[in-house]
Structure 1
Amino acid sequence: MKDAILETIKSYTKIIIHRHIRPDPDALGSQGGLGAILKASFPEKEIYLVGEEDPALTFLVQMDHIPDDTYKDALVIVCDTANSPRISDQRYSLGGRLIKIDHHPNEEPYGDLVWVDTSASSVSQMIFEWFEHEKENGLVLNKEAARLLFAGIVSDTGRFLYRNTTERTYYAAGELVKKGISTGEIFENLYKVKESTARLNGYVLQNFEVIDGIAGFIHLPKGTLAEYGVSVSEASQLVNAFANVEGIVAWVFFVDEPNQIRVRLRSKGPVINKLAMKYNGGGHPMASGATVYSEEETKHVVSDLVNLCKEYVSGR
């Protein structure tokens, strides 16, 4: 599949790279890192990155704004997106050919070429491994690509703390560091928070709830976000605020958005991506996202999560 992807890329003069909505550093790191590799390797090609911006992450990479007709006869590559409704910028279907590169469970194998590796820590790691496999065939990984891919790996492994961190992950990170990137600058930008977000973190720690000692949750309504002057994106960064509380094996973080409620699910054991799919979402077995539309639905999510946690604890 790695060879097929490279041969397909070589056959197109225009390449447009997408990723998922509500981008995280791996989505942007893999999208931007792939784009940087292609620009360095094929300077004669037109390479575009598209999708909505997250102001907190524009330090990584910024998007291009292209008209619809740019998609004519273009190759479209979608990174880090399990199912097509979550692709940022639904014009992805206007291209001539579509490639999916992802590390989530392949619930929807959309695309003409599909490369999914659920054993990879991140799609950023996959893009590095693709480069490693094809570097003798002319691929160039420059410092900018290394910076973006390293940031994506760091984020999706929780600074190398999550269980998805493997020997392959450390090898990729080490090779990227050799490119002379400033790891300190990357960490500082990834994990800095505004004073308002830090104060909201205190509120979260004071107000999260634990059910039966095993499942945690909190709901941040619009009023609380307004009181602290924090955006939905900034509030969502706090999903792991109470992750280390003894006994909790999974938790859910609700944040009000206009006309819907963002759901962030995390786990230390119970598989939660099937639960996320039940509520208009998806993701990894231990880290997923979803969307609900009422307070009543949040109660259903919590109830389902508690049941998952009980099943997991009783089966240990």
Structure 2
Amino acid sequence: MQREIIQQIKQHSTIILHRHVRPDPDAYGSQVGLAKIIEVTYPEKQVYVVGEEDPSLAYLAELDDIKDETYENALVIVCDTANEERVCDQRHRQGNYLIKIDHHPNREPYGDVMWVDPDASSTCEMIYELYETAQADGWVMTNEAARLIYAGIIADTGRFLFPNTTERTFKAAKSLIQYDFDRQSLHDNLYRVSLNTAKFKGELLSNLERRESGLVVFKLTQEMLNHYDVTPEETHAFVSVPSDIEGVLAWVFFVEEEDVIRIRLRSKGPVINGVAEQFDGGGHPMASGAKIPSWDQAEDVIDALDAVCLDYQS
């Protein structure tokens, strides 16, 4: 699969890279990191990175604004996006050839070529391995590409603390940190929070709901978010907060947005992506997302997670 991707990149003169909506560092890192490698390896090619920009990730990269006609005869690569409906900028089908590169379970196949590896810690880890394979073809890693790929790896592994961290992850990280970029500045940007956000974290811990099953529930209403001036996107920074609490097996964040309740699910043992799939979502066995239209369905989600946690202990 990697050889096919490398061959398609060689053959196309225009290459456009996409990623998912509501991006995270792995989405930005894989999308733009791969683009930087292609640009320096093949300077004669036209390479673009597209999608709505997230101001909180501006320290990683700026994206391109391109016209529809740019897609004519172009190779399109979608990174870190399991479901086609979540591709940011739905023009991805307008190109000549479509490639999917992703580390989430392949519940929704799409594209002419799919390289999907759920055992990878991140899509950025896969991009590094693609580069390793392509070194024989003259591919070049740059300091900037290394910074972006490293950012995605440390973000998706929680600074190498999550169970998805493997020998592959450390091998990639070992190579990437040999390039010349400011790791301290990158870490500062990844994990810096405002004073209001820090106070909000205290509010979360004070009001967490612990269930007998080992499940912890957080309900983040718009009223609560407005009070602390925290956006729904910023709440992603708290998703690992319960991981060190004794006796916690799994946890769920309900985050109220304007027209939907976003759900973030995490686990230290019980497999929770099946629950996510019941509620318009999906993801990894220990890290998934979903959504419900209103608070009325929140108890249904909690009941399903309770059952999974109880089954895990039986």
Pick the TM interval, shorter chain: over 0.9
Residue 302 of structure 1 corresponds to 302
Q: Does 2:271 match 1:233?
A: no
**Alpha-carbon offset, residue 46 of structure 1:** 1.1
Given that 2:265 and 2:272 are in contact with CA atoms closer than 8 Å, whether structure 1 keeps it comes out as yes
Residue 41 of structure 1 corresponds to 41
Given that 1:14 and 1:46 are in contact with CA atoms closer than 8 Å, whether structure 2 keeps it comes out as yes
Residue 104 of structure 1 corresponds to 104
**Alpha-carbon offset, residue 213 of structure 1:** 4.9
Amino acid at match of 1:209: E
Given that 2:75 and 2:97 are in contact with CA atoms closer than 8 Å, whether structure 1 keeps it comes out as yes
Given that 1:232 and 1:256 are in contact with CA atoms closer than 8 Å, whether structure 2 keeps it comes out as yes
Residue 155 of structure 1 corresponds to 155
Amino acid at match of 2:155: S
Q: What are the within-5 Å matches in structure 2 for residues 43-58 of structure 1?
A: 43-58=43-58
Q: What are the within-5 Å matches in structure 2 for residues 8-87 of structure 1?
A: 8-87=8-87
Q: Structure 1: 5+ residue runs without aligned partners?
A: none
Residue 265 of structure 2 corresponds to 265
Distance in 1 between residues matched to 2:75 and 2:195, nearest whole Å: 43
**Alpha-carbon offset, residue 181 of structure 1:** 2.0
Distance in 2 between residues matched to 1:62 and 1:180, nearest whole Å: 20
Given that 1:204 and 1:241 are in contact with CA atoms closer than 8 Å, whether structure 2 keeps it comes out as no
Q: What are the within-5 Å matches in structure 2 for residues 219-230 of structure 1?
A: 219-230=219-230
Given that 2:26 and 2:122 are in contact with CA atoms closer than 8 Å, whether structure 1 keeps it comes out as yes
Distance in 1 between residues matched to 2:236 and 2:123, nearest whole Å: 21
Given that 1:239 and 1:253 are in contact with CA atoms closer than 8 Å, whether structure 2 keeps it comes out as yes
Given that 1:250 and 1:309 are in contact with CA atoms closer than 8 Å, whether structure 2 keeps it comes out as yes
Distance in 1 between residues matched to 2:260 and 2:69, nearest whole Å: 32
**Alpha-carbon offset, residue 236 of structure 1:** 2.5
Distance in 2 between residues matched to 1:89 and 1:276, nearest whole Å: 24
Amino acid at match of 2:200: L
**Alpha-carbon offset, residue 171 of structure 1:** 0.9
Superposed CA offset, 1:174-222 (max 9, x none): 1001112222111111111011110110110111101115001111111
Superposed CA offset, 1:11-48 (max 9, x none): 11111111111111111111111011111111111111
Name whichever of 51-60 and 125-134 sits farther off: 51-60
- The normalised TM-score by structure 1 is 0.97
Distance in 1 between residues matched to 2:183 and 2:248, nearest whole Å: 32
Given that 1:34 and 1:127 are in contact with CA atoms closer than 8 Å, whether structure 2 keeps it comes out as yes
Q: What are the within-5 Å matches in structure 2 for residues 162-311 of structure 1?
A: 162-311=162-311
Distance in 1 between residues matched to 2:155 and 2:311, nearest whole Å: 29
The count of aligned residue pairs is 314
Distance in 2 between residues matched to 1:41 and 1:281, nearest whole Å: 37
SS in 2 for 1:289: strand
Moved over 4 A (4+): none
Amino acid at match of 2:297: E
Residue 117 of structure 2 corresponds to 117
Amino acid at match of 2:275: L
RMSD: 1.1
Distance in 1 between residues matched to 2:169 and 2:236, nearest whole Å: 26
Superposed CA offset, 1:141-193 (max 9, x none): 10000000000010111101111111111110010011122221111111110
Distance in 2 between residues matched to 1:3 and 1:40, nearest whole Å: 19
Percent identical residues: 50
Q: Structure 2: 5+ residue runs without aligned partners?
A: none
Given that 1:100 and 1:115 are in contact with CA atoms closer than 8 Å, whether structure 2 keeps it comes out as yes
- The normalised TM-score by structure 2 is 0.97
Distance in 2 between residues matched to 1:275 and 1:20, nearest whole Å: 21
Amino acid at match of 1:306: D
Superposed CA offset, 1:54-79 (max 9, x none): 22111111221112222121111011
